[in-house]
Structure 1
Amino acid sequence: QFKDKWHFFPFNQGTDSSFSFGMYGVSVAMDQVKVAVTYQEDINAFSIRFYEKDLCSLEEAQSYNAYYIMMEIMLGEGLSYQYIADVERADAPLEDSISLPVLRTYIVDTLKAHDKEVFDNPQQVYTSYRFEPQENEELRFDVVAGSSCFQPLVANYYNGSTELFDQLNRFGAQAVFIAFPFENEKEGDAKKALDFRYELEDRLSEELLSPEGLGLLLGGAVGTGTCYIDLLLFDKPAFMEKIIPFLKDYPQYRFYLSDFRQDCDLHRLFETEDDESED
């Protein structure tokens, strides 16, 4: 009964319309919130100062909390996440300011004026990272380089934290990674494995994750002898039914699945005829 009536989005999309917003006992008109904006080209992000009499009369923590909620409503969570570097509350009316509903247009126009591409979906923005391989029994400590559109999850893993992993689980999603060892004895072996990882990532995203709605590709990494593909699964049982026959197209590799956290079991995704003969 909800078909063509309900519409679902991965995050708040933002709006340019002004309206009244009430929180902590005050009601504020969005267009009465003034912001002074500074673009920091070196980090491709913006610093914000905000002022509205009633909003700024609240206790500091309440004032900031209310402003961030208002800003995300107007900008959308994607732009807020990607382009807002820091926010400061002003003590008096601001000069050279704009109203909050205009901020989205201002940010987009400024980025384009500096020949920057505008991303309003965090999944489109990948952060690259490089490590020095370490001796460690845990996976991923052999990683040399990788990229992710969810860098905090990678940081959590290496810090031994499960905070984001647990939060995702509470929302019904599961962060995992596929690992497959590769031979790294001859020159060019690592590049060959990396090229294969990219090919496999494209196929996973285009043939399984997106059309089936099973999850998202978060990124991947290459280590001294293992490649990793990072996924956020929305329906792990359905994914497992699809991934095993999918990976049988590549009998030359052994594929394993792990939760995106330390101290967990590693599961072999399927056995080949060679494995059975070895047993």
Structure 2
Amino acid sequence: MTSLRYRVAAVLALALALPLSLTACGGGSGGDDGKIVIGTKFDQPGLGLKNPDGTMSGFDVDVSTYVAKELGYSPDKIEWKESPSAQRETLIQNGQVTFITATYSITDARKEKVSFVGPYLVTGQSLLVKADDTDITGADSLQNNKKLCSVSGSTPAQRIKDTYPGVQLQQYDTYSACIEALKNGAIDAVTTDEVILAGYAAQSPGTFKLVGQPFSQENYGIGLKKDDTDLQKKISAALTKMESDGSWQAAFDKNLGPAGIPTPAPPALAT
């Protein structure tokens, strides 16, 4: 009887342990398979794009791949996780990713929830319209009840709400949805950072154009779990090396050069 009780207890212990072990293997920062999970955008040409063949491309992807290499992970050990703007903090806080490189502007509000390393890229908010549009010439011309699209949870969307209350702001989950709405005439313009818009314009030559001057400064950073100072230092060292050995400039030229954006000097890291 005693041995039977032990066998039953052992079976119960195994049954309870099994789901926990499976959960641990599926954790966001990699499991027993030695992989690292990195968040990025899947729908931003030139920055973070999942191609039809399943491969990833873009400046953010190249930055992430370089950082992962410096952390000890080869490209085949990277698992990419789509990170929409409104979900980035949640993905980091829940441990579903090790870090996120996804056109992620460093702001004081976000720094209350996650930590950053950067900036690794500096850009500014701009406007994209149809190529034949002559009504919208810059941010000030939006006030005439123009329909403007941006993404929920993004810094550009919040800036429009705060600064241009006369604009009819439509908020979608992704910029690709905004681009489709612009293409079919449902909205008049798309706003986000210039490098993002330039990527979409380059993808459809002659369809869209950038108008006006950038009306903000956005500092893109790599987001990671709050107060993980060890990982923060390692990512910072990786970015510093990338900027100094020419890899940063090569990645910019390859991914954003075709969009017509001059290659800037790499920004000095502040965090």
Under TM normalisation by the shorter chain, which class is it?
A: under 0.3
| TM-score, reference length from structure 2 | 0.26
Report which structure shows greater RCO (CA 8 Å, sep ≥6). 2
The structure having more radius of gyration, on CA atoms, is: 1
| TM-score, reference length from structure 1 | 0.26
